Structure 1
Amino acid sequence: MLPAPPTSAASAAVGARAAVAGAFLAQGLLFISLTTRLPALKDKWDIGEAALSGLLLMMVLLAGVGSVLAESLAKRIPSGTVLRGGLVVIALGAALVAAAPSFAGFVAGLAVYGVGLGLVDAASNMQAVAVERVYARTILPSFHGAWTLGGLIGAGITLAATGLYPVVAAAVIPLIVAFGPFLPRATDPTAHGPAVEVLWRPIVLVGLGMVLFYMVDTAATAWGPTYLDTTFATPERLVALATFPYLLATLLMRLGGDALVTRFGPVAVLRAGGVLAAFALVVVVAAPAWQIAVVGFTLLGLGVAVIAPLSYSAAARIAGGPEVPEELRQARVDVVIGRFNQFNYVGALLGAVLTGLVGADSLRLGFAVPMVLILAIWPLAKHFAPVNEPDVVER
């Protein structure tokens, strides 16, 4: 049972928290259901790593378009409405990817799914930071943990059932979640007072940390199964073990993330995680057998798990400065989170595309890219430290 927030909006917030968690879960389930079947899709359409990298690039770029669209829509309509639409789009796109009768249909499905991915990524985090504000305590890790739980379910389905049609069945889940009671917006963000804009420099510095997370996360989830499939003599049904233990470790760390951050602070947690993640990728790159690579992916999940939720929380805190009227805060933070979400796709480009291109001949080389770059979280971690709200300026 979800605990009630300490406000008069307790009932609505509890329902919204459950609905938003459901959206994260549906997104994770569908995304991992697709990425763990990349080897099967690669074989079905007879495409190589370079061509697959190009298709992933297209999908990531279109996800960026979807995020920009979410930002634009959030200026006029509630983020809950944007999220409902995005959930419908990812369901349609994923079903088309799995069941397309032609290569053109497969590419079209990836395109539709990409746009929906951006819409849901941005709008679900808009809703998450709004619910966190009502609860007046950190709960973003639990929302991202719901995404991870969905991913675990998707990876488990891949382990239990071969073929592509389970993805079509999984696409029903977002359609159900779309009917959830998302948090409403009280006012029109353009209807009151002068425009208020936060300073972007601290948000960009926090965003660079999120770039690092999605670089590593997308490399692991998009290329991990293919790495096991092409580098080792891994049984076909077990290639999802690149993703399943990674997600399980991520889930466990996110469930305990609030307590760790409270005890040691975000700077120490992020720096320790960065060192662990780099070591984990050394294990992946140097693994002599697929079982050792799976250990590396598991450690990787522990290392990077809390970077993304702490990034969104920090960005929302900075965006909703003390001079932003409370009745306008959610709308303004929605718009900032929509733009901030673009860091997600910069990281995804590095993780999915650069890993694939550098690793076109050997994915060992591809995973060496995030192995080195993740260490940049060490100097960036200081920008996640809790500080007084930054000044907010009028245009």
Structure 2
Amino acid sequence: MTQARLRHGRVSLGVSFFAQGATFALLVTRIPAIQDRYSISDGLLPVFLAAVPVLAGVGSVLTERVVTRVRPSVVLRWLQPVVMLALLGVGAGTRVWQVAVSLGAFGLAVGGLDASMNMLGVSLQRAYGRSIMLGFHASYSLGGIVGASLAWVGAHWDLALFVSYLPAVAVLLPAALIGSRWYADADADAGAGGVPGPTESGSAVAGDAGAAGRAPVVFRMLLPLCLVMAFAYIGDSTVSNWSAKYLKDTLGSSAELATVPYNAYMVTTLLGRSIGDFGVRRFGPVTVVRFGSVLAAAGFAVVAIAPGAWTGILGFTLLGFGLCVLVPQCFAAAGRMFPGASDAAVARLNIFNYVGFLVGSPLVGALGDAWSYRGAMMVPMVMVLVASLYARSFGRVPAGYGGGHDGQERPRAVDVG
């Protein structure tokens, strides 16, 4: 694969991550408006909200089967428009069955979309021979900030959902379709006779790496990464669903100040992911994952004992810097662990994204109501701290870009940017 093809593939995949971040944010930040539009009761709303990640998990499983016959780039090219059109469907309907169909389509498609995006990211990272996965997820975070900002504009001006969604989709959909022309299935192209990138393991003999990679995905080996993925999303869903309520009801902030923690969390997530690849190249994935887990646990501890609102905001800010590295490194480690079956490993790992999302918010809410919200914050704190114990699993196969810890980054015959 040529240098230009790799660069174009990297940029186009970054556009896809950005578009997905914006699309998802436009949906989740307007849930109250969706509930009002369709007169969904408080008792029925959790069913709708749970259905989306459940169907997304199904979509991820189906994608594992599909990519044995069709390249991940093809799956991504056609699923991204489905997700955006489903978003428009959510805004355009008038009856409960219509929003149910739209959300169902959104859930199924987003599971395949998340899986195929990360499959491409893992294969591109292998071709580059250095850490680039955090950069893709930084694009997702930036898209999330943009999408949440657009949603705020729609809510502020009291725009109908369809009117709020249409301009964003009108821009993002053509951009994603145009960008999809340059998607690069690095693994498939190398197998088809292209110029292979260096392997993640640093082996000088590509055939040896390929032979090792033909082994099936062993769930026992993948399980530590699955747990870290679930713990990370439990922490993330805690921030997104409970930070405003915690600041207002527990720490006594104003309603306006209560909106700050999630914004601070999103910004620090973006900043952390923007520089995270440099940290992985310098210190190695094990150190970065361990540091991120401990920092996230410290953030939850600060939140739990905060005497006031601004201390709580500091805690949520630390959480953004800590949690942001875990999910991208889970996908990268799965790709290294099963180099010849990375698509299957990524699809299975991706399911635990939705497991964490499903578990996190109800768990914290139930503990908060039955006990206290300060105490409830200690539960995700313990989970992300436990994640640090699994950090060594991220170095089970040498990454090849970890300074003195995983070996110096391999010299490359060409610089692919």
Q: TM-score range by the shorter chain?
A: 0.7 to 0.9
Q: Return 156-165 or 39-48, whichever deviates more.
A: 39-48
Which residue is equivalent to 1:98? 91
One-letter identity of the residue aligned with 2:329: L
Counterpart position of 1:107: 100
Q: Is the 8 A contact 1:93 1:109 kept in 2?
A: yes
Write the distance in 2 (CA, Å) between the matches of 1:360 and 1:136. 48
**CA distance in structure 1 between the partners assigned to 2:299 and 2:35 by the alignment:** 27
Q: Distance in 2 between matches of 1:39 and 1:177?
A: 28
Q: Does 1:276 align with 2:295?
A: yes
CA distance in 1 between counterparts of 2:141 and 2:110 reads 15
Q: Are the aligned partners of 2:37 and 2:94 in contact in 1 as well (CA < 8 Å)?
A: no
2:343 to 334, 338, 343: 334
Question: Which letter does structure 1 place at the counterpart of 2:101?
Answer: A
Q: Does 1:263 align with 2:256?
A: no
- Name the structure 2 match of 1:135: 128
Whether 1:379 and 2:389 are equivalent positions in the alignment is yes
Q: Secondary structure at the match of 1:138?
A: coil
Give the alignment partner of residue 14 of structure 2, picking from 21, 24, 45: 21
Matched residues in 2 for 1:216 and 1:357: separation?
15
User: Partner of 1:83 in structure 2?
Assistant: 76
CA distance in 2, matches of 1:346, 1:150: 23
The reply to whether residue 183 of structure 1 matches residue 184 of structure 2 is yes
Task: Quickly say closer, same or farther: Cα 1:289–1:42, change in 2 above 3 A.
Answer: farther
Amino acid at match of 1:183: A
Quick check: 2:229–2:349 contact (8 Å CA) kept in 1? no
Amino acid at match of 1:80: S
Give the CA deviation at 1:287: 5.2
User: Letter of the aligned partner of 2:346 in structure 1?
Assistant: I
Offset at residue 307 of structure 1 (A): 0.6
**Separation in 2 of the partners of 1:166 and 1:287?**
37
Alignment correspondent of 1:171 = 169
Q: Distance in 2 between matches of 1:169 and 1:116?
A: 21
Which TM-score applies when normalising by structure 2? 0.78
Letter in 2 for 1:167: Y
Distance 1:169 1:64 in 2: 29
Query: Displacement, 1:333?
Result: 2.0
Structure 1: gaps (5+ residues): 1-7, 321-328, 390-395
**Secondary structure of 2:94 counterpart:** coil
Q: Is the CA contact 1:63–1:117 (under 8 Å) kept in the aligned structure 2?
A: yes
1:3 aligns with none
2:259 is aligned with 1:249: no
1:157 aligns with 2:150: yes
Q: State whether structure 2 residue 338 is matched by structure 1 residue 319.
A: yes
Which residue, 342, 351, 355 being the options, matches 1:346?
355
Secondary structure of the structure 1 residue equivalent to 2:216: strand
In 2: Cα distance, 1:266 partner to 1:134 partner: 18
C-alpha contact (below 8 Å) 1:246/1:300 kept by paired residues? yes
Task: Look up the match of 1:71.
Answer: 64
- The amino acid of 1:260's aligned partner reads G
- When residues 366 and 107 of structure 1 are mapped into structure 2, their CA distance, relative to the original with a 3 A threshold, is farther
The match for 1:392 is none
Provide closer, same or farther for how the CA distance between residues 239 and 68 of structure 1 changes in structure 2, counting only shifts above 3 A.
farther
Deviation track 1:131-190 (CA, whole Å, cap 9, x = no partner) reads 1111111100101111111111122223444143423433341453033221143469xx
Partners of 2:104 and 2:361 lie apart in 1 by: 16
1:81-125 CA-to-partner distances (Å, cap 9, x unmatched) read 111122022112222223332333233322221112101110000
Identity among equivalent pairs (%): 34
How far, CA to CA, are the matches of 2:374 and 2:82 in structure 1? 35
Q: CA RMSD in A?
A: 3.1
Aligned partner letter, 2:280: V
* Distance in structure 1 (CA, Å) of the matches to 2:369 and 2:47: 12
What number of residue pairs does the alignment pair up?
368
- Name the structure 2 match of 1:4: none
CA deviations over 1:341-367 (Å, ceiling 9, x no partner): 112122222224433444467766654
> Would you say the 8 A contact 2:296–2:319 is kept in 1?
yes
CA contact under 8 A between 1:49 and 1:360: conserved in structure 2? no
| Alpha-carbon distance in structure 2 between the residues aligned to 1:314 and 1:149 | 23
Give the conservation status (yes or no) of the 8 Å contact 1:66–1:117.
Answer: yes
The DSSP-based 3-state class of the residue aligned with 1:341 is: helix
Cα 1:360/1:141, change in 2 over 3 Å: same
Q: Does 1:355 align with 2:374?
A: no
Computing the radius of gyration from Cα coordinates, the structure with the larger value is 2
CA contact (8 A) 1:127 1:183 kept: yes
Aligned residue for 1:201? 220
CA distance in 2, matches of 1:279, 1:52: 33
Paired residue secondary structure (1:205)? helix
Task: Specify whether residues 304 and 367 from structure 1 end up closer, same or farther in structure 2 by C-alpha distance, changes over 3 A only.
Answer: same
SS of the residue corresponding to residue 197 of structure 1 reads coil
CA contact (8 A) 1:275 1:303 kept: yes
Q: Deviations over 1:210-254 (max 9, x none)?
A: 111122123323444565677766547x76534322111011111
- Alpha-carbon contact 2:215-2:338 (below 8 Å) kept: no
Name the TM-score, length of structure 1 as normaliser. 0.82
Q: In the TM superposition, what is the alpha-carbon distance from 1:127 to its structure 2 partner?
A: 0.7
- Shifted more, 179-188 versus 17-26: the winner is 179-188
